[in-house]
Amino acid sequence: MKLRHGLMAAAAAAAIMAAPVAKAETFKYAFQGNLSSLDPQSLNETFLLGSLGNIYEGLVLYDDNLGVIPGLAESWETIEPTKWKFNLRKGVKFHNGNDFTAQDVVFTWKRALTEGSDQKVRGSKIKNIEVIDDHTIIIETPAPNPILTADLIYIYIMDKEWAEANNATEATSASADNTNNYANLNANGTGPFKIVDHKADIKTTYERNSGYWKKIDSNVTKVEFTPIKEAATRVAALISGELDLVYPVPVQDWKRLDEAKGVKALAGPEARTIFLGMDQGRDELLYSNIKGKNPFKDIKVRQAFAHAINLDAIKKKVMRGASIPSGLMIAPQINGHVPDLNTPYAYDPKKSKALLAEAGYPDGFEVTMDCPNNRYVNDEKICQAVVSMLAKVGVKVDLLAQPKSKYFGKVLATGGFDTSFYLLGWTPGTMDAENVLSSLLSCQNKETKVGLFNLGNYCNPKVDELTKKVGSETDQAKRNAMIKEIFQTVKDAYGYLPLHQQPLSWGVSDRVTVSQRADNGLDFRYVVVNK
């Protein structure tokens, strides 16, 4: 694998050197949202981090397939379970010409822990950084952490001198007390592209960094990004040839793109899993006609729900064939995925009815379902389909579909987990199962800060215990066995009802070749303008 990468890099390098000086190639694209800040520590959001990943870099990088490859660190080794030695790359310069050194790494880490940072969680995975020399550091972790490198990807290294000179030594805060942070509207990284003009929400222009340390596939010299909120406008701009790439494209527009000349829909599975959750913590559901007890505490009811939902029908009718039904809470791209357990619960409405009768609800019951209507691909339609499927087995579901800001405000911890039955989607930011185990499958615990997105409080002490062990086990085989055991336990208990991995949906002009990463990130390193 390593060798193949090396060969490919060498081949690419040879190709670039052989080619005459490339002429200016501009790549124009649009996304539905905007690049709210240029400060890589201001918001932990896929789009922001994905965009800034072209300007800034971590010690390690993702390749086009979410594999971890060396970035600003050339190599690393674990010298003790909690100590990692990183050899930093020499001769790398920031866009302003400053040298990249160990001091910048230490500075960045400390900055990630400042008040306004949204990267505190990643920052807290590091206990101390010891500087051996300008290009060698030892990172100490609070506990053995087998996936430290995954956390380092999004700790984008910033230039210490630059930040100090511009009074940007603290992360841009979401509150008003951190005025005019320079890093919010300016950037200085080591990446293959640099910002030449940034008007938040209107247009951002990038230019190729001619001094980039690595040979990359891309022949693009200039990139223009425009946020376009309206899907119809995005698609029109692509078909009219004004843009080279737009995303996301509504699933229902795929046919239109395929019929239009010079553009195509690019659809791949996203690493995001969409699932249903049920309140199994309270003694009485907040939103149901059953009083005095909680039907979801009975495994038969959860089982009945699982067998009442027809994932294939959702795939066919709602997702236009573009989703991948799932039996697991993580996608195949995520480290720790267990193919054996990925078979969804079988669709069997008869069994479902029988189970409800056994549980004491022969005529079903009523429950309210919370659903976002602008967060995931066709989220509201999925919920409507679930409602009608459950109606067939006698369960009457009142659907409460709301915009994401209202929805999240209600169902998340801030709203006191105010839900009985909900739809949610999750991509582990580390691309590792551990994140799902501790955020979604562990019992809610405000003190140890785990299970805080386990909105229905599925709780099994055995899972909690194993999750802790997974967090510090460095032997991959043992670790994966424990992950598998946890998923098996949750699956047997019908703790969650996974639905599918949703599709990524990009519209791409034939003028360019791009690589669609499963976390919906667009890496300019792999954008090639076709000749």
Among 20, 176, 283, 363, binds another protein (CB under 8 A): 176
**What is the closest distance, in whole angstroms, from the C-beta atom of residue 448 to another protein in the complex?**
11
Asked if 416 interacts with another protein (CB under 8 A), we say: no
Contact present, 221 and 237 (Cβ < 8 Å): no
Q: Which value, in Å, is the radius of gyration of the alpha carbons in the chain? A: 24
Among 82, 172, 294, 378, binds another protein (CB under 8 A): 172
Among 133, 177, 363, 475, binds another protein (CB under 8 A): 177
248 prior amide bond cis, ω within 30: yes
Kindly provide the residue ranges of all beta strands, DSSP E only, lying in 309-449, ordered along the sequence.
324-325, 366-372, 396-402, 421-426
Binding to another protein in span 228-287, by CB under 8 A: 228-230, 232-233, 236-237, 239-242
**Using CB under 8 A, which of the segments 113-121, 295-303, 344-352, 523-531 binds another protein?**
113-121
Asked if 511 interacts with another protein (CB under 8 A), we say: no
Burial track 233-250 (b if 16+ CB lie within 10 A, e otherwise): ebbebbbeeebbbbbbbb
**Using CB under 8 A, which of the segments 64-72, 141-149, 404-412, 509-517 binds another protein?**
404-412
Among 5, 316, 392, 404, binds another protein (CB under 8 A): 404
Asked if 113 interacts with another protein (CB under 8 A), we say: no
Tell me, residue by residue from 33 to 72, as one string, x for binding to another protein by CB under 8 A and - for no binding. Answer: -x-xx----xxxx---------------------------
Among 7, 15, 143, 174, binds another protein (CB under 8 A): 174
Instruction: Quote the crossing angle between the two packed helices 349-358 and 299-308, to the nearest 10°.
Output: 160
User: Which helix (H) or strand (E) element contains residue 198?
Assistant: strand 193-199
* DSSP letters spanning 285-326: -SSBS--SS-GGGSHHHHHHHHHH--HHHIIIIISTT--EE-
Q: CB neighbours (10 Å) of residue 4?
A: 8
Asked if 227 interacts with another protein (CB under 8 A), we say: yes
Asked if 103 interacts with another protein (CB under 8 A), we say: no
Choice between 299 and 412, CB closer to another protein: 412
Among 162, 182, 453, 524, binds another protein (CB under 8 A): 453
Asked if 501 interacts with another protein (CB under 8 A), we say: no
**CA–CA dist 362, 368 (Å, integer):** 19
**What is the closest distance, in whole angstroms, from the C-beta atom of residue 224 to another protein in the complex?**
10
Choice between 352 and 435, CB closer to another protein: 435
Q: Count of residues binding another protein (CB under 8 A)?
A: 59
Scanning the structure block, which residue is given the tokens 């699956």? 491
User: Which helix (H) or strand (E) element contains residue 503?
Assistant: strand 496-509
Asked if 121 interacts with another protein (CB under 8 A), we say: yes
Tell me, residue by residue from 366 to 395, as one string, x for binding to another protein by CB under 8 A and - for no binding. Answer: --------x---------------------
Among 387, 452, 459, 528, binds another protein (CB under 8 A): 452
Among 51, 101, 181, 378, binds another protein (CB under 8 A): 181
* DSSP letters spanning 135-196: TEEEEE-SS--TTHHHHHTTS----HHHHHHTT--SPPPSSTTSTT-HHHH----SSSEEEE
Kindly provide the residue ranges of all beta strands, DSSP E only, lying in 9-123, ordered along the sequence.
26-31, 60-62, 68-70, 73-80, 83-88
Interface residues toward another protein, by CB under 8 A? 34, 36-37, 42-45, 118, 120-122, 172-178, 180-181, 184-185, 199-203, 226-230, 232-233, 236-237, 239-242, 374, 403-406, 408-409, 412-415, 426, 429, 435, 439, 446, 449, 452-453
